[in-house]
Amino acid sequence: MYRMVNIQEKIKENRDVYSIIFRDDIKVKPGQFAMIWIPGVDEFPMSFSYIGNAKGFTFKVIGEGTKALSSLEVGERLFYRGPYGKFYTEKGEKALFIAGGTGVASLAPFIEDSNFKEKIVVIGAKTKDDLFFIDRLKNKSSVFTIFTEDGSLGIKGLATDSLKLYNFDSVYACGPEKMIRVIVDQVGNKEMQASLERYMKCGIGLCDSCAINGFRVCADGPVFNKDDLILMKDLGRNYRTPSGKISSY
């Protein structure tokens, strides 16, 4: 059930974001995720940030699980199950990609591999030290813009301010739910897909921990289209704790 791979490369992307790269011959589509198992510590979901022959995960160290993941070194074993979930699909010719925080990890393979005529890439972060994948994505974009909340790099403001700046047919988003809520509310008649993050246990549609208004993020998503996102009244407003209790953001 678990795949076991050897870590080939470990990259420090910024002060608390790492990528781990490994070889695995499974097929992964952009936007899909895996459940990473760190024996004796935890199991948690992570988007594939590299999906070619070399696969990878890119993560921010925030708690025990991601700390243990960041302590793995080249040559050590990594266990995971997947790939799971729905992936991004190409709609229209001009795509606007809006990535908030670590959301860029999920969008990066789609930005690289998709065949849109125009790719407008927007990366948003609180401050410049939180950014990563700039060099990776700059060359793949027709337009590349950074937004920082404190103005330390790029345009001062929120990544969602880009909705008013550019013409596009479809928007692809991954980041905090409040960011995705703003896009859903402002996108009008354009196409939209967004990848959501909810607390996950099974990762395969059995336990309901990741439920939002009747959708299971692990099995019905994590990538949802606009029609589904519109039906999610809790999006950006309420979340589920690990015990299943509903709390407000």
Ligand X SMILES: Cc1cc2nc3c(=O)[nH]c(=O)nc-3n(C[C@H](O)[C@H](O)[C@H](O)COP(=O)(O)OP(=O)(O)OC[C@H]3O[C@@H](n4cnc5c(N)ncnc54)[C@H](O)[C@@H]3O)c2cc1C
Q: In the complex, which residues of this chain contact ligand FES (CB under 6 A)? A: 200-203, 205-210, 216, 218
Q: For Cα atoms 95, 129, 198, give the angle at the middle one, nearest 5 degrees.
A: 60
Tell me which stretch binds ligand X (CB under 6 A): 64-72, 116-124, 135-143, 178-186. Answer: 64-72
Shortest reach from residue 205's CB to ligand FES, in Å: 5
E-strand ranges in the chain read: 3-12, 17-23, 33-38, 42-51, 54-60, 77-84, 94-100, 118-125, 143-148, 155-156, 170-174, 191-195, 211-212, 215-216, 223-225, 238-240, 246-248
Shortest reach from residue 216's CB to ligand FES, in Å: 4
- For residue 212, state whether it binds ligand X (rule: CB under 6 A): no
Q: What is the pattern of x (binds ligand X, CB under 6 A) and - over residues 122-161?
A: ----------------------------------------
Write out the binding residues for ligand X, residues 67-106 only, by CB under 6 A.
102, 105-106
What whole-number distance in Å separates Cα of residue 76 and Cα of residue 174?
30
Closer residue to ligand X, CB minimum distance, 22 or 168: 22
- Token pair recorded at residue 62: 């925030």
Q: How far is CA 110 from CA 4, 30, 236, in A?
A: 25, 5, 24
Binding partner at 205 among ligand FES, ligand X, none, C-beta below 5 to 8 Å by kind: ligand FES
Shortest reach from residue 60's CB to ligand FES, in Å: 20
Shortest reach from residue 72's CB to ligand X, in Å: 13
Q: Which of 36, 37, 45 is nearest to 216 (CA)?
A: 45
What whole-number distance in Å separates Cα of residue 131 and Cα of residue 134?
7
Shortest reach from residue 117's CB to ligand X, in Å: 27
- For residue 42, state whether it binds ligand X (rule: CB under 6 A): yes
Handedness of CA 102, 221, 144, 58 (dihedral sign): positive
Chosen residue from 56, 124, 175, 222 binding ligand X by CB under 6 A: 222
Per CB under 6 A, residues contacting ligand X are 33, 42, 44-47, 49, 58-60, 62-66, 102, 105-106, 197-200, 222
